[in-house]
């Protein structure tokens, strides 16, 4: 599995190797094929606002956008999953408001964005509950695989769920 990362921001120092490993683990957990490819972009609020306006008609910044690939394959040897775009400006603001690290917020947004690519949504309350459950499961998996360190291993529910409820 390949994760192509374009870091277009300077606000947050991001461990790209760790983020790539986390993305690959989530993709594997969600059943992506070995030849899967994901594009991940870290950007500022101005960049994501333009995308949000162009593709969703919302002329404001947001934290994460997911763009699933419409066509199943571009190259015979690669299955394109889609693109996840994360605003580090918004991620930083949200981390501050939630009283947790920017790294935790980035991992949450990456998980959330990837789940959208795998068909999860949160329009209906039942869909939201299903998606939050999957986010919690993935958070536990990342801790178990030692790809991510919990800020407090005794926190229940996980900081991902706690973050989404505030």
Looking at residue 79, its pLDDT comes to 84
Question: In this model, does residue 24 exceed pLDDT 70?
Answer: yes
Q: What is the pTM of this model?
A: 0.88
Residues facing 2 on adjacent strands? 37
For 77-121, how does the pLDDT look when each residue is reduced to its tens digit (9 = 90+)? 788 899 999 999 999 999 999 888 899 999 999 999 999 999 999
Length of the chain: 166
Residue 41 sits in a domain whose CATH number is: 3.40.390.30
3 strand-pairing partners: 38
Determine the Cα–Cα distance for residues 56 and 54; give it in Å rounded to an integer.
Answer: 6
Biggest alpha carbon distance in the chain?
Answer: 46
The total number of structural domains that make up the chain: 1
Domain of 13 in residue numbering reads as 2-165
First vs last C-alpha separation in the chain: 34
- pLDDT over threshold 90, residue 154: no
């Amino acid at each position: 599995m390949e994760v192509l990362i374009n870091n277009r921001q300077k606000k947050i120092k991001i461990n790209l190797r760790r983020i790539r490993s986390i993305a690959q683990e989530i993709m594997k957990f969600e059943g992506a094929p070995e030849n899967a490819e994901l594009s991940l972009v870290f950007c500022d609020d101005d960049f994501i606002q333009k995308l949000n306006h162009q593709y969703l008609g919302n002329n404001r910044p947001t934290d994460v956008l997911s763009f699933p690939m419409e066509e199943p394959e571009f190259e015979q040897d690669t299955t394109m999953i889609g693109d996840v775009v994360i605003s580090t400006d918004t991620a930083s603001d949200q981390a501050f408001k939630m009283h947790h690290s920017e790294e935790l917020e980035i991992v949450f947004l990456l998980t959330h964005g990837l789940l959208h690519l795998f068909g999860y949504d949160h329009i209906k309350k039942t869909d939201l509950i299903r998606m939050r459950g999957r986010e919690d499961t993935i958070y536990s998996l990342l801790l178990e695989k030692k790809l991510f360190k919990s800020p407090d291993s005794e926190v229940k529910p996980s900081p991902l769920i706690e973050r989404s409820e505030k």
